[in-house]
Amino acid sequence: MIKIKRRWEIPECEVTPEPLYRRRREFMQAAGAIGGALLLNPWAGAEAALAIGDYQHKAISTDEELTEEADATSYNNFYEFGTGKEDPKRNSRRFRTDDWEIRVSGECEKPGTYDLEALIKPLPLEERIYRLRCVEAWSMVIPWLGVPLGSILKSFQPTSKAKYVALKTLHDPVRMPGQQRSVLHWPYREGLTIAEAMHPLAILSVGMYGKTLPNQNGAPVRLVVPWKYGFKSIKSIVGIEFSETLPQTSWNMAGPREYGFYSNVNPEVDHPRWSQKRERRIGEIFKRDTLMFNGYAEEVASLYAGLDLAKNF
């Protein structure tokens, strides 16, 4: 059998063995040491894989320079804690995420309310570090710590009727003061097609830079979909629903002409109020050309075969 290696798979000689990913807290304790090595030697420390019997995963990576951790954790969009870029870090300092639960519903065989620790613990998955480009009005390269979203979703046994996956953020205006203002329809909602959700580039992250996920970046668990604009990467997730019909999403509800359901990075389709052909990387002065699907076209373009991306934006 001939195996063709994907572009984002790294060779075995460049991987760094790491402890088995069993529980989120144990995982993050072990990851602390990795984070230090990562900052000292980013090109080698940001990729990791672990062979478990016949099971092996090649980490997803880019060789681009990492964004400074201070920038990635202090310049954020998280409207639940305020609309200013510095608001989330300032206003989320006392946000507690202990005993976090996720409610699973809809077209699946195993609905219910799951403790986040218990949800991740039984999965036969190794620790994974993903070094991915992410784009909003600016772009960053971040070493995420997490697991594929699809691995979690499969454990709920979605039925053949499950065409979409809808996700919700915690709604608690006391703990999330930004929700006291009606800048969006709360709680925050997002959604993917089932095919998008099952793609190995879609991950659930519980950390970054070798540390637990900061509150302002979506603690304790968030979505990362690197070929889409950043607002698709919903934070502080408490709800997952398998749906047969297209789910509502917060930004599409707020501005349907400006924010489509798919929200893929597509420089060929301008936002009604600005061009999307150029982007600015955090820490850089000059803009650069925006890449189709944020540079992941080879991996994800097949998900949209036959779809008019100008109409389905």
Give tens-digit pLDDT for 16-35: 333 333 344 544 444 443 33
Residues in a beta bridge with 52: 55
Report residue 220: phi and psi, to 5°. Answer: -90, -10
Q: Quick check: helix, strand or coil at residue 162?
A: coil
- pLDDT-derived band of residue 124, with 50, 70 and 90 as boundaries? low
Least reliable range by pLDDT among 116-125, 135-144, 158-167, 187-196? 116-125
The C-alpha atoms of residue 42 and residue 14 are separated, in whole angstroms, by 12
Residue 38: count of CB within 10 angstroms of its CB = 24
- The pLDDT of residue 160 is 97
Residues recorded for the chain: 313
Nearest to 65 by CA among 156, 175, 140: 140
CB 238 within 8 A of CB 165: no
Q: Quick check: helix, strand or coil at residue 15?
A: coil
Q: Quick check: helix, strand or coil at residue 56?
A: coil
pTM flag (> 0.75) = yes
C-alpha to C-alpha distances, 74 to 67, 78, 161, 266, nearest whole angstrom: 12, 11, 41, 26
Q: Across all residues in the chain, what is the average pLDDT? A: 82
- The pLDDT of residue 118 is 79
The class level of CATH for 12-301 reads alpha beta
Which alpha helices (H) appear in 141-229, and where do they start and end?
149-154, 194-198
Only one residue has tokens 């990635």, namely: 72
Top mean pLDDT of 107-121, 122-136, 287-301 is at 287-301
- The pLDDT of residue 181 is 96
- pLDDT-derived band of residue 10, with 50, 70 and 90 as boundaries? very low
- The pLDDT of residue 128 is 65
Decide if pLDDT at 302 tops 60: yes
The C-alpha atoms of residue 98 and residue 66 are separated, in whole angstroms, by 30
Decide if pLDDT at 2 tops 80: no
C-alpha to C-alpha distances, 307 to 197, 241, 293, 310, nearest whole angstrom: 17, 24, 14, 9
For 28-84, the pLDDT digits (tens) are: 444 443 333 222 222 222 232 222 222 233 446 788 899 999 999 999 999 999 999
- pLDDT-derived band of residue 134, with 50, 70 and 90 as boundaries? confident
- The pLDDT of residue 123 is 60
- pLDDT-derived band of residue 163, with 50, 70 and 90 as boundaries? very high
For 246-301, the pLDDT digits (tens) are: 999 999 999 999 999 999 999 999 999 999 999 999 988 999 999 999 999 999 99
Least reliable range by pLDDT among 7-11, 121-125, 213-217, 247-251? 7-11
Which alpha helices (H) appear in 92-190, and where do they start and end?
116-120, 149-154
